[in-house]
């Protein structure tokens, strides 16, 4: 039976890009890796292609199951999914041996003990035979050209029997039918060697796209000492994955125009490799934090409350203590002031408990001669307000009236009340704060100020 439509579909499908993220499990998913993964993922989703996760664990000493898990966790946190994998190179040894044998048989590779640290023979690739100028067309860099004399014979199979990166990488990219290799710029210099292997095997080469480095404030490759490097650190510090991904994507790529904050969908729609820059970019914590704040503000109340809750818990506050509606209101109150999730518990201890700290500035306000009078005026007005009317809408006129009656500007009354109830001179709007602290606690806190009760 002839099925033209199925055939058409099939061949259309084979044109779809296949990309991979191939981290080495050395401990965690770091910023650079996260962005490389993201670009691959975005590219796959934009083109309707396939995204593959491959674990490059051919180095016997450096890989652990925990490290693999950390990478998977990091990717999931960032909202990435993959269509194939994770494929572990450590499970494909037989295939690497097979290709090695073929190259040796062709005379393109040879056994050697040269440069050996340990006993045993390694298999080296014979560059001399294939030597010529290497040129490739990079999707980000454009034409990249290497002089012909610079590359020397290199090791394919180590004397311990395992393949080296350049070898296993090529075999896997070929076997997995990878069409586009999107990786960090630090891999450019590996490309000529890899190209030689493709040629030696008679394999079609993928397209390459080398994306620029992420640097520290000194313009050097970003590393541990420059600040948080693992994506897990950002999760713990209260960054939203969508904000982190958005910010990171913008390090080296832009959708054009003035667009910065964009949904995942828009990012997928807009992402193309030809808009990736060639220049390294510095990781700017301030801008990340600003963007995170924007994302926090944009979260629906219930969603925000849900994200904040775990951070409350780990700070020793019970997010469920006053009910979900209360927690949502609290979130709304603090969201414009918090740039990260960890700041929520820091800004809200006095809503939960009486053991909050009193900052010097607040103590100062309460120690002023004028404080008791202001507090007494407020206290009288607040005592008279029924519990059922303990809302910002009612508290507002009541307190303003009290200030007027006492012959003072509202600010003169508000600051002492704020200091008495929150222990700080800085808080969200007073009426909203009083509402959430509750009538009973508010009154008690005002009464206990010396000279008032």
Partner RNA sequence: GACCCCAUCGUCUAGCCUGGCCUAGGACAUAGGCUUUUCAAGCCUAGAACACGGGUUCAAAUCCCGUUGGGGUCGCCA
Applying the rule CB under 7 A, the residues between 199 and 218 that interact with RNA are: 213, 215, 218
CB 24 within 8 A of CB 59: yes
CB of 185 to RNA, least distance (A): 6
Picking from 148, 151, 196, the residue whose alpha carbon sits closest to that of residue 170 is 196
Give the integer Cα–Cα distance in Å for 416 and 366: 6
Least distance between RNA and beta carbon 15 (Å): 22
Residue 12 C-beta: closest distance to RNA, Å: 26
Contacts with RNA by CB under 7 A: the residue count is 83
Closer by beta carbon to RNA, 9 or else 168 = 168
Catalytic pick among 221, 224, 278, 294:
224
Select from 54, 55, 52, 56 the least CA-distant residue to 83. 52
User: Residues 6 or more apart from 361 whose CB is under 8 A from it?
Assistant: 419, 424, 425
Applying the rule CB under 7 A, the residues between 220 and 239 that interact with RNA are 220-221
Q: Name which of 205 and 281 has its Cβ closer to RNA.
A: 281
Give the whole-angstrom CA distance, residue 38 versus residue 241.
Answer: 12
The smaller minimum CB distance to RNA, of residues 50 and 215, is found at: 215
Residue 434: partners with Cβ closer than 8 Å, 6 or more residues away: 382, 390, 392, 395, 417, 421, 442
Peptide bond into 71 cis (omega under 30): no
Tokens of 147: 């002089």
Letters for 80-109 (x = contact with RNA by CB under 7 A, - = none) are ------------------------------
Binders of RNA in range 282-311 (CB under 7 A): 282, 284, 286-287, 290, 293
Nearest by Cα to 199 from 127, 287, 250: 127
28 and 232 in contact (C-beta within 8 Å)?
yes
Give CA–CA dist 335/272, Å, rounded. 34
Of 27, 85, 110, 154, which one interacts with RNA (CB under 7 A)? 154
d(CA 196, CA 117): 26
Q: Is 77 in a helix, a strand, or coil?
A: helix
Per CB under 7 A, contacts with RNA among 413-432 are 414-415, 418, 425-431
Smallest distance, RNA to C-beta of residue 10, A: 32
- Which one of residues 68, 188, 235, 262 is an interface residue with RNA (CB under 7 A)? 188
Site for RNA in 318-357 (CB under 7 A): 336-337
What are the residues whose beta carbons fall under 8 Å from the beta carbon of 413, sequence distance 6 or more? 374, 377, 378, 399, 402, 403, 406
SS3 call for 449: coil
CB nearer to RNA: give 155 or 452.
155
Task: Determine the interface stretch with RNA among 56-64, 78-86, 97-105, 350-358 (rule: CB under 7 A).
Answer: 56-64
- C-beta closer to RNA: residue 77 or 162: 162
Q: Does 265 bind RNA (CB under 7 A)?
A: no
For RNA, the closer CB: 348 or 427: 427
Alpha-carbon dihedral 384, 386, 387, 389, rounded to 10 degrees: -110
Quick note: the x/- pattern for RNA over 358-387, rule CB under 7 A, is ------------------------------
Which region among 94-102, 138-146, 199-207, 378-386 touches RNA (by CB under 7 A)? 138-146
Please report whether residue 404 would count as binding RNA according to CB under 7 A. Answer: no
Q: Which lies closer to RNA via its Cβ, residue 165 or residue 326?
A: 165
Residue 406 near RNA by CB under 7 A? no
- Contacts for 142 with CB less than 8 Å, ≥ 6 apart: none
Q: Which of 68, 93, 130, 141 binds RNA (CB under 7 A)?
A: 141
**From the list 254, 272, 324, 332, which residue makes contact with RNA (rule: CB under 7 A)?**
254
User: Which of 9, 160, 314, 391 touches RNA by CB under 7 A?
Assistant: 160
Q: Which of 59, 73, 233, 269 binds RNA (CB under 7 A)?
A: 59
For residue 217 the two structure tokens come to 């404030």
Task: Please report whether residue 179 would count as binding RNA according to CB under 7 A.
Answer: no
Q: Is 199 an active-site residue?
A: no
Nearest CA among 221, 209, 224, 223 for reference residue 280: 221
52 phi/psi in degrees, rounded to 5: -120, 140
* Residue with tokens 């100020």, as numbered in its chain: 449
Q: Please choose, out of 4-12, 275-283, 316-324, 380-388, the segment that lies near RNA by the rule CB under 7 A.
A: 275-283
Q: Which of 18, 21, 22, 296 binds RNA (CB under 7 A)?
A: 22
The nearest distance, CB 126 to RNA, in angstroms, is 14
Cβ 7 to RNA shortest distance, Å: 34
Tell which one of 87, 185, 200, 362 touches RNA (CB under 7 A). Answer: 185
Q: How far apart are CA 3 and CA 302, in angstroms?
A: 51
Catalytic residues: 224
């Amino acid at each position: 039976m002839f099925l033209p439509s199925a055939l058409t579909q099939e061949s259309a499908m084979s044109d779809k890009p296949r990309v991979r993220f191939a981290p080495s499990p050395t401990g965690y998913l770091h910023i650079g890796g996260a962005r490389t993964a993201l670009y691959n993922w975005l590219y796959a989703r934009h083109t309707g292609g396939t995204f593959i996760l491959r674990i490059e664990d051919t180095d016997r000493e450096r890989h652990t199951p925990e490290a693999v898990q950390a990478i998977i966790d990091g990717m999931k946190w960032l909202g990435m999914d993959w269509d194939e994998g994770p494929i572990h190179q450590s499970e494909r040894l037989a295939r690497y041996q097979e290709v090695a044998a073929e190259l040796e048989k062709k005379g393109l590779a040879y056994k050697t003990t040269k440069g050996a640290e340990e006993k045993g023979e390694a298999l080296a690739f014979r560059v001399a035979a294939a030597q010529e100028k290497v040129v490739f067309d990079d999707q980000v860099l454009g034409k990249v050209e290497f002089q012909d004399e610079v590359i020397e014979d290199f090791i394919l199979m180590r004397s311990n029997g395992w393949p080296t990166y350049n070898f296993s990488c090529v075999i896997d990219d070929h076997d997995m039918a990878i069409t586009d290799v999107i990786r960090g710029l630090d891999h450019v210099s590996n490309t000529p060697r890899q190209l030689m292997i493709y040629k030696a095997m008679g394999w079609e080469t993928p397209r390459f796209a080398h994306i620029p480095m992420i640097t520290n404030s000194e313009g050097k490759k970003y590393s541990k000492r420059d600040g948080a490097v693992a994506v897990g650190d950002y999760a713990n510090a209260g960054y939203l994955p969508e904000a982190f991904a958005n910010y990171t994507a913008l390090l080296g790529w832009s959708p054009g125009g003035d667009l910065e904050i964009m949904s995942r969908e828009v990012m997928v729609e807009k992402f193309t490799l030809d808009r990736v820059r060639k220049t390294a970019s510095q990781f700017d914590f301030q801008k990340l934090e600003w963007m995170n704040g924007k994302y926090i503000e944009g979260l629906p109340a219930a969603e925000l409350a849900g994200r904040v809750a775990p951070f409350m818990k780990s700070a020793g506050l019970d997010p469920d203590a006053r009910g979900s509606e209360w927690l949502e209101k609290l979130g709304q109150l603090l969201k414009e002031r918090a740039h990260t999730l960890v700041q929520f518990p820091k800004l809200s201890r006095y809503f939960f408990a009486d053991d909050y700290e009193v900052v010097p500035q607040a103590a100062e306000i309460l120690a002023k001669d004028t404080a008791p009078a202001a507090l007494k005026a407020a206290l009288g007005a607040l005592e008279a307000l029924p519990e059922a009317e303990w809302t910002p809408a009612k508290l507002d006129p009541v307190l303003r009236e009290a200030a007027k009656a006492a012959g003072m500007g509202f600010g003169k009354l508000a600051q002492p009340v704020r200091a008495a109830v929150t222990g700080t001179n800085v808080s969200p709007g007073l009426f909203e704060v009083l509402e959430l602290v509750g009538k009973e606690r508010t009154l008690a806190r005002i009464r206990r100020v010396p000279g008032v009760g």
